[in-house]
Amino acid sequence: MEEAVLAADPGAEFELSAEWLVSRSFVFGALPRGAVLSRALRFEADGAISGYSHANETRWRIEDGKLHILTESGQPSCILTPGKRDGRVSLLGPFINPAEPSLPTDTTHYIEEKVVDPEIEVMSFDLFDTLVARRCFDPLDIFRAVERKSGVVGFARARHEVEMRMFGRRLYGFDDIYAQLLVETGWPERLVQKLKMMELAEEWDNLFPIGETVALVRPRDLIISDMYLPFDFVRKIVEEKCGLQGRPIHLSNYGKHFGVIWPLLLPNHEIVRHFGDNPHADVASPGRHGIQSQHVTISQWAHGERVLLELGLRPYAEAIREARLKAYDDDPKVRAVQTAQLQINLPLLTIGSLYLAAKSQEWDADTLLMCSRDCNLWERLLRLLLQRSARSPRVRYIRTSRKLFYSGAAEYEAYFQLHMGERNYLVDLVGTGQSPSRFLQTLGDFERVRPLLLVGEPAIDQFEGRTVESLTKQDFVPVRLILEALNLSLDGTATSAVFADHAIEIVQAPNEFSPTVKELIAAMRRVFLGAVDTVAETTEAPIPANLSVETLRQAANAIFALIPHHFEGVRPIVDEVLHNLK
């Protein structure tokens, strides 16, 4: 590369233009040391530089036929003269030190037009926490699970310490770890072999694909992992967990960590971007070899999951994280509403379920009457979580609407009372509580039925002389709109109650939403109910019984802080909700 650039003819006829510059990709390097700083440098139409990140090279302009590279403050850090060699354009110029612009430097920068060979242009991907994640989040929990299931006290500590004594000092693999564990512990060989098999099985059961990054991998792309696990096991992860058959896999202890993998790959592969979660091995290391990187942080805890962690609900936070990472849709509108479901609605309704459990125990309620349609998702989650509480009231999903509450119909009163227990909370997601309170006043059953909201209007504490209980009170319009949007049902609104053939039937109007919004509602429901299934499958942990209502209220308020970040993503549904209210 150095020889080619120096041999370029500055006098060769070539007129540098912005149109030409922004239409191509370039290799960017420094002489005389020959360092490649970027293999995918681009000049954007707005004057920005992409594909390389440094304060000395942030913007560009063309002046007097030369390319001026500018610092953050707008000073030139290099003025490059164009030339041609073998039909390819190179630009060459001395580096100008922004701190001492009058003093010459011994560094020359070059930018060479990149000719892409599609046969060798690839992206590369880290594996763990980039393409797959562990359900348990902390890798050491794999060892703890093996210790718990095997009954071998001290296994987790011994297994970790043996590997840490090898790390950075020698090349090692899975077999080497267990050979050393056998020597250091003196445990029977049969036991160590059993623990070895259990670790692999536990690792496999914990792994699941990260949909968003798996979807980026193309047929020729590379999987690069610094991992001690056996190659065949890693191949099985890539092909069976991720569904990525036939991808080249490069497995080593320290290939990325010490940067030794890149010189081995670059002669045969034009790596245009590397994706990975580790700031050193996946960002700094490829960067030193001119490879642009994408720092992948998606496997870390999301805000709503951290709120649940702080409540002591780690198994539930892990299950929601798993559902979030698995969920991926090519349609950005679907992806936006599904993300809001998993980062706002599911954590919030988990907190609301704990609130209902606490209130039921406080009042000795035996029945929770969940109002349609807003509670259609909450009811499914609530049934699951109350099975894990110290006291589990009945959960009944009943057809409700303002029209029914205000109807004064004997048929509806009969329907409602058939679902009641001895002590009941009439639960709704969000509202003022006026229509259920007026209905209960007419029914004369305030002593047996209390209205309760997850989110109430700040100005409403009582109605018809009765307290309207709520976990939290919020600025009503934006919160109500987004919560109603995230909890929409594909059912129509309940309009009347009819007694026919010795039974009470609730008549429902056709669903009022457009086909486009119905598709978004269906997508939201799929991801929410899939997450509930994940909670059911992956944890049997009881819900805490010692959390105060104030603690739960603070947690709910922390979730509401996310609403502004997701409002635009849910706007297509919100707009139609508003239209239907007119």
Instruction: Please choose, from the candidates 65, 272, 253, the residue with its C-alpha nearest in 3D space to the C-alpha of residue 176.
Output: 253
Written as six digits, the tokens of 350 are 């988990």
Per-residue pLDDT of the chain (582 residues), as tens digits, is 434 444 455 545 678 899 889 888 888 888 887 778 887 788 988 999 987 888 899 999 999 989 999 999 999 999 999 887 666 788 889 999 888 888 888 889 989 887 666 667 899 999 999 999 999 999 999 999 999 999 999 999 999 999 999 988 888 999 999 999 999 999 999 999 999 999 999 999 999 999 999 999 999 999 999 999 999 999 999 999 999 999 999 999 899 999 999 999 988 888 989 999 999 999 999 988 888 899 999 999 999 999 999 999 998 999 999 999 999 999 999 999 999 999 999 999 999 999 999 999 999 999 999 999 999 999 999 999 998 887 789 999 999 999 999 999 999 999 999 999 999 999 999 988 888 988 988 888 768 999 999 998 876 655 555 678 899 988 777 888 899 999 999 999 999 999 998 999 999 999 999 999 999 999 999 999 999 999 898 888 788 888 999 999 999 999 999 999 998 999 999 998 888 776
* Alpha-helix residue ranges (DSSP H) falling in 364-472: 378-386, 402-407, 410-419, 434-443
pLDDT at 118: 62
Written as six digits, the tokens of 194 are 């059993």
Question: Which residue type does 170 have?
Answer: R
Cα distances from 570 to residues 378, 412, 487, 516, in angstroms, run: 19, 34, 11, 13
Which H or E run contains 566?
helix 563-581
- Residue 252 C-alpha from the chain's centroid: 28
Written as six digits, the tokens of 388 are 């894990």
Question: Which residue type does 262 have?
Answer: W
CA distance 383 to 393: 9
Torsion angle, alpha carbons of 51, 54, 60, 63, to 10: -130
CA distance 198 to 370: 44
> Which pTM does this prediction carry?
0.80
For every residue of 497-534, which 3-state class applies, written as one string?
EEEECCEEEEEECCCCCCHHHHHHHHHHHHHHHHHHHH
Backbone torsions φ then ψ of 312, nearest 5 degrees: 85, 20
CA distance 174 to 285: 24
pLDDT at 332: 92
- Residue 423 C-alpha from the chain's centroid: 40
Measured from the Cβ of residue 186, the count of other Cβ atoms closer than 10 Å reads 7
Please, which residues have CB within 8 angstroms of residue 3's CB and are 6 or more apart in sequence?
none
CA distance 124 to 276: 9
Instruction: Please choose, from the candidates 317, 322, 299, the residue with its C-alpha nearest in 3D space to the C-alpha of residue 205.
Output: 322
Question: Which residue type does 437 have?
Answer: S
Beta strand spans in 258-361 (E):
270-276, 293-295
pLDDT at 478: 81
Written as six digits, the tokens of 558 are 């922390």
Instruction: Please choose, from the candidates 561, 378, 410, 414, the residue with its C-alpha nearest in 3D space to the C-alpha of residue 486.
Output: 378
Written as six digits, the tokens of 179 are 């050979």
Residue with tokens 């329907």: 415
Decide if 351 contacts 357 (C-beta within 8 A). no
CA distance 466 to 482: 28
Instruction: Please choose, from the candidates 398, 466, 399, the residue with its C-alpha nearest in 3D space to the C-alpha of residue 432.
Output: 466
pLDDT at 538: 84
CA distance 407 to 497: 9
Decide if 177 contacts 228 (C-beta within 8 A). yes
SS3 279: helix
